[in-house]
Structure 1
Amino acid sequence: MAEDPPDEGMLGWDESVFRNERVFEIDYVPETFKHRETQTQSLQYVLRPAVRGSRPLNAVVRGPPGTGKTTAVQKLFSELQAETNDVRTVRVNCQMNATRYSVFSRLFEGMFDYEPPASGISFKKLFSQVTERLVDEDEVLVVALDDVNYLFYESEASDTLYSLLRAHEEHSGARIGVIVVSSDPNLNVMDELDSRVQSVFRPEDIYFPPYDEGEIVEILRERVKRGFQDDVIPAPILDLVADFTAETGDLRVGIDLLRRAGLHAEMRASRTVEREDVKAAYEKSKYVHLRRSLEGLSESELALVEVIAECEGERAGDVYETFHERTGLGYTRYSEIVNKLDDLGIVETEYAEVEGRGRSRELTLEYDREAVLDRL
């Protein structure tokens, strides 16, 4: 007996709703970069001296998560490398490299195209090898410290910037410019730096505001055009995705939401994304910031997040006792981690009066408890 023909709205086994799924990955750099013309021009102004062989200006690039800061830096770094062979650009992810030594290890890797030895090399030697290479090759180095807020959380920012900004004093002829990129709205970079760094940093301030809803729709429409097959995302569905994205203020949520909604539609073997796909996907996509924040935490920091989630509603002292039992770490380190989690927006801390015990700090999660535990 002949089989029934497949439903026209159903995908075959070898079909996909995606034209290029890579378009929806977080680190994808789009060919067209809209609604950031002013900020791009400011970055070009900062970098222009490097093309002429001079030390570039320094800059603080700031704004909420998902506002195009990293993309702008990456695109201009690519253009700069295409323009001249005398400028070396290195972007360091400080979420993964939150100490001065690890930052300079990434600079070493960027200069020599291989990693430095894992042990047995001092910071001074690492530093001198980077600066000597710059002078020997007569190159200008532009360093982007992306998510620099993580250096501040570990009290490493001032020492790292001081070493970069004073490099020419240690090795005459070394030319280094620094761009720091921060997504922490509560961090004032200049105020938190040592006075010795403030006096030599003097950065240009470049602010990336949140995208408005019209801009979000236009940017997501471009991703849809490049990433999906024709007619997979109808206009009303794109508007729904934009609404969810605008609620969070983070464009990365919308990009992740498109990808997950597409995968959800494929799971149903559907050729089009529908409202149910978007709503189901949003339950995971809305936690993009939480997922990225957790990825950058150490084992002991993750352990404290888990303890806080399990001990929700208990006093900080009781949370510490459980944390100490699991990790063996003391109260000073516990307090440092609490402050970092507060800065990251994972935990909220408040002081409250406790009868007979004075003031006590209360810890609560900024996210749904089950969502946190699920991602741990």
Structure 2
Amino acid sequence: MADDPEEGMLSWDESVFRDEHVFEIDYVPETFQHREGQMRNLTYALRPAVRGSRPLNVVVRGPPGTGKTTSIQKLFDEVGAQTSDVRTIRVNCQVNATRYSVFSRLFEGTFDYEPPSSGISFKKLFSQIAEKLVEDDRVLVVALDDVNYLFYENEASDTLYSLLRAHEEHPGAKIGVIVVSSDPSLDVIDELDSRVQSVFRPEDVYFPVYDQPEIVDILDERVRRGFHDGVIGRETLEYVAELTADSGDLRVGIDLLRRAGLNAEMRASRSVERQDVEESYEQSKYINLSRSLSGLTDTEQVLLEVIAHHDGEQAGEVYEAFREQTDLGYTRYSEIVNKLDQLGLIDAEYAEVDGRGRSRSLSLSYEKDAVLDRLE
């Protein structure tokens, strides 16, 4: 009956989702919209690898949530379907932020098992990877995703130098590098040592922020694959797209759809309404913050918490509070401040201080409660 109050309600074993995985961050869509030009440029750079030659190196740039990682994953899947003579390995540099950890991940991707946890030098680790490539006559394509984290730890030049010079120590080793940066303020080439700049002459592929009509198209595809028919109306979808465009990060919209769907289920509703979106947005809008915090060490998290409690104070005053908890010296403290600033978690601004010259004031880039809640 049309007026049955139970008609719009879910039973206990029903769901609004057709496939909830569609709304997870690591999902690779079958159709990848509004990035055709970037995919063409990446394919052009990797085409020599499929023919057994060293591919062109690439720098992929763009703000977070603009499709860079998805492009790499789709391209690597396509290369894998074409040939087994190319080994493609994506390294998450937020997790693997040193040269040794990057090459440990490459070892695992090359041999399909992890290297020994101790007792193996970098030189030996590197040699075994290169020798295996030569032995199997395979081309290796390495994607250093979120390479900005290697720069924050001053590991980028050494890592790239080892990869780009591999063929000199191991003739026949063919390695191409895709460097993926999500830090708009980072000039990858300028920040590299001159010894790396001389051999690293990459193609440049830029990923701009999606505009609102593009966001609607992309989210509509997710809705059709992830929700049952009729779960979310056009007006609600466009509201999600509007919030996503404001954030500049497509991942906000994808996460927002999932959370709104879960909220609808909590109401036992068969449809996602505007109120479900509004209630979910407070969580989804901080997805980039949560991601950045997850990559911090315990010490870096301690400093961020100290800054939260001393927001806007001078760097020297913040350091005194930080030292009480960690006993670390000022040099290491300054390095962590620079990293948090580069990640966009804090603003470290220089200002004139009476009688003390120029000093940095440190303040959070996000609301204090949002940071502290996610550090717990």
For normalisation by structure 1, the TM-score amounts to: 0.98
Match of 2:232 in 1: 233
Match of 1:95 in 2: 94
Q: Distance in 2 between matches of 1:198 and 1:69?
A: 23
Query: How do 1:188-207 and structure 2 match up within 5 A?
Result: 188-207=187-206
Match of 2:313 in 1: 314
Q: Counterpart of 1:200 in 2: which secondary structure? A: coil
Query: How do 1:331-370 and structure 2 match up within 5 A?
Result: 331-370=330-369
State the one-letter code of the partner of 2:369.
E
**By how many angstroms is 1:328 displaced?**
1.5
Q: Distance in 2 between matches of 1:317 and 1:9?
A: 60
Residue deviations 1:162-186 (CA, integer Å, cap 9, x gap): 0000000010100000000001000
Q: Distance in 1 between matches of 2:10 and 2:363?
A: 45
Moved over 3 A (4+): none
Residue deviations 1:18-48 (CA, integer Å, cap 9, x gap): 1111000111101110110100000000000
State the one-letter code of the partner of 1:21.
E
Match of 1:64 in 2: 63
Q: Counterpart of 1:201 in 2: which secondary structure? A: coil
| 1:282 and 2:320 matched | no
Match of 1:221 in 2: 220
Q: Distance in 2 between matches of 1:72 and 1:261?
A: 26
Match of 1:253 in 2: 252
Q: Distance in 2 between matches of 1:99 and 1:240?
A: 41
Q: Distance in 2 between matches of 1:121 and 1:285?
A: 42
| 1:43 and 2:42 matched | yes
Match of 1:140 in 2: 139
Match of 1:303 in 2: 302
Q: Distance in 2 between matches of 1:289 and 1:252?
A: 8
Work out the number of aligned pairs and report it.
372
Q: Counterpart of 2:276 in 1: which secondary structure? A: helix
| 1:52 and 2:51 matched | yes
Q: Distance in 2 between matches of 1:357 and 1:158?
A: 36
Match of 1:157 in 2: 156
Residue deviations 1:209-265 (CA, integer Å, cap 9, x gap): 111111100000000000011111111000000000000111000000000111111
Match of 1:11 in 2: 10
| 1:272 and 2:271 matched | yes
- Please report the RMSD computed on the Cα atoms of aligned residues, expressed in angstroms: 0.9
Q: Distance in 2 between matches of 1:164 and 1:359?
A: 41
Q: Which runs of 5+ in 1 are unaligned?
A: none
| Percent identity (aligned) | 75
State the one-letter code of the partner of 2:308.
A
Q: Counterpart of 1:14 in 2: which secondary structure? A: coil
State the one-letter code of the partner of 1:26.
I
Q: Distance in 2 between matches of 1:233 and 1:256?
A: 15
State the one-letter code of the partner of 1:253.
V
State the one-letter code of the partner of 2:300.
E
Q: Counterpart of 1:95 in 2: which secondary structure? A: coil
For normalisation by structure 2, the TM-score amounts to: 0.98
State the one-letter code of the partner of 2:174.
R
**By how many angstroms is 1:317 displaced?**
1.2
Q: Counterpart of 2:198 in 1: which secondary structure? A: helix
**By how many angstroms is 1:6 displaced?**
6.5
**By how many angstroms is 1:283 displaced?**
0.6
Q: Counterpart of 2:135 in 1: which secondary structure? A: helix
Q: Distance in 2 between matches of 1:26 and 1:186?
A: 24
Q: Which moved more, 1:349-358 or 1:74-83?
A: 349-358
